[in-house]
């Protein structure tokens, strides 16, 4: 197909989403390299993202542009070999077990604490904030951490387990505000080192450890933004680990992104550049993995709050770029802005959700009204 024919096909598809090529609207795309069309039709979302990283196209409102694409389901017209390969890898290979479990730490979370410090705000909390009554990112993250503690009914003297503890902020908050002690596990060396320093005056132990290995009792077990790295083949093992470690009268909370769609369909660009070996769970997978292990006391969805969280992260990243540019190049800047902008669009278009599941081993006697 000629370049002109490919461009015409692209124009026709984009018009269905209300997008024009070289138009004047903030969501209209400006094309700098005419080879863009062949690249996108050959490689789908991978080609679109890589072309943006290479400076082949721009748009003033990237999240708005991506929201229009997703809301119009234009991505379904770009199913390519790259999409199939990503799907098959997720479907048939256990990419999150054994030595693979630590790959995400090296590839993403060890990029540099300077990057995450600049982006995430007052606290290094790399997950969706809770914006029900918050007006800024720092308040939204504090509200999320407090919501988790309230849902778990934490009390002074209890011992908690944070699976995928990140930089230790959730454990620090729980220890300081609810008087608990705890253990945090992570697969990122930089996160573990930072968390140990952050929590050094508190009764908290930080371990560089895979969750499969832990077997000791806790009053509460939670994970915040970690389940996306577990993988469908390991969901049952994850919940078995939680059940093994949770006391009979304890509560567990799972905070994770969730998909409306069918299982095992990772985006090839995200898989290659941002979160290798990661997978967004479908509700059917989570429900099946829980069977016979837990009572679901509550399934809370506040997915649109992730749009606001990602938008705030992107603003922080842009503001910090003059300093960050000393350590990261222009292609990284475009990659990271694309990641944050496209991710915001995923939640704005309601393609993905943010779930908090509150779980008990055998059901709270008399029932449990979970806080909001």
CA 171 to chain centre: 19
Please give the Cα distance from 24 to 46 (Å, whole number). Answer: 26
pLDDT tens digits for 232-291?
Answer: 889 999 999 999 999 999 999 999 999 988 775 678 898 889 988 788 999 999 999 999
pLDDT band for position 26 (50/70/90)?
Answer: very high
Beta-bridged to residue 256, according to DSSP, are: 355
Q: Assess contact for 160 and 216: CB atoms under 8 A.
A: no
Question: Is the model's pTM score more than 0.75?
Answer: yes
Distance between first and last Cα of the chain: 55
Beta-bridged to residue 259, according to DSSP, are: 282, 352
Please give the Cα distance from 114 to 135 (Å, whole number). Answer: 25
Angle at 107 between CA 303 and CA 325, to 5 degrees: 85
Read off the tokens for 46. 């991978």
pLDDT tens digits for 99-149?
Answer: 544 454 454 555 677 899 999 999 999 999 999 999 999 999 999 999 999
Beta-bridged to residue 29, according to DSSP, are: 21, 59
Plot region of 50 (φ>0 → left; ψ -120 to 50 → alpha; else → beta): alpha
Read off the tokens for 166. 């990140």
Q: Which of 17, 207, 203 is nearest to 105 (CA)?
A: 207
């Amino acid at each position: 197909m000629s370049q002109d024919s490919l461009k015409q096909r692209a124009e026709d598809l984009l018009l269905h989403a209300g997008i024009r090529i070289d138009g004047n609207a903030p969501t209209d795309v400006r094309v700098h390299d005419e080879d863009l069309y062949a690249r996108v039709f050959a490689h789908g979302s991978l080609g679109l993202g890589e072309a943006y990283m290479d400076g082949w196209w721009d748009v003033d409102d990237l999240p708005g542009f991506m929201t229009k694409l997703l809301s119009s389901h234009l991505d379904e017209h770009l199913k390519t070999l790259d999409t199939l390969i990503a799907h098959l890898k997720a479907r048939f290979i256990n990419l999150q077990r054994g030595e693979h479990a630590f790959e995400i730490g090296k590839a993403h979370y060890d990029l540099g604490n300077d990057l995450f410090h600049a982006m995430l705000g007052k606290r290094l909390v790399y997950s969706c904030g809770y914006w029900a009554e918050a007006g800024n990112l720092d308040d939204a993250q504090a509200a999320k951490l407090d919501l988790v503690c309230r849902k778990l009914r934490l009390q002074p003297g209890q011992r908690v387990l944070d699976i995928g503890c990140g930089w230790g902020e959730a454990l620090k908050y729980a220890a300081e505000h609810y008087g608990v002690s705890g253990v945090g596990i992570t697969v990122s060396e930089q996160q573990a080192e930072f968390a140990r320093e952050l929590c050094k005056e508190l009764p908290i132990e930080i371990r560089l450890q895979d969750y499969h290995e832990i077997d000791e009792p806790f009053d509460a077990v939670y994970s915040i933004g970690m389940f996306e790295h577990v993988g469908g083949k390991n969901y049952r093992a994850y919940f078995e680990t939680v059940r093994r470690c949770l006391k009979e009268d304890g509560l567990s909370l799972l905070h994770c992104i969730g998909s409306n769609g069918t299982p095992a369909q990772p985006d090839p660009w995200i898989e290659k550049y941002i979160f290798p070996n990661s997978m967004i769970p479908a509700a059917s997978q989570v429900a099946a993995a829980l069977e016979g292990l837990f009572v679901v006391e509550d399934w809370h969805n506040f997915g649109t709050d992730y749009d606001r969280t990602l938008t705030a992260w992107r603003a922080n990243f842009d503001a910090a770029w003059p300093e960050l540019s000393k350590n990261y190049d222009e292609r990284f800047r475009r990659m990271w802005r694309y990641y944050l902008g496209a991710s915001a669009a995923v939640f704005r278009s309601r393609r993905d959700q943010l779930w908090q599941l509150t779980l008990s081993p055998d059901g709270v006697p008399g029932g449990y009204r979970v806080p909001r």
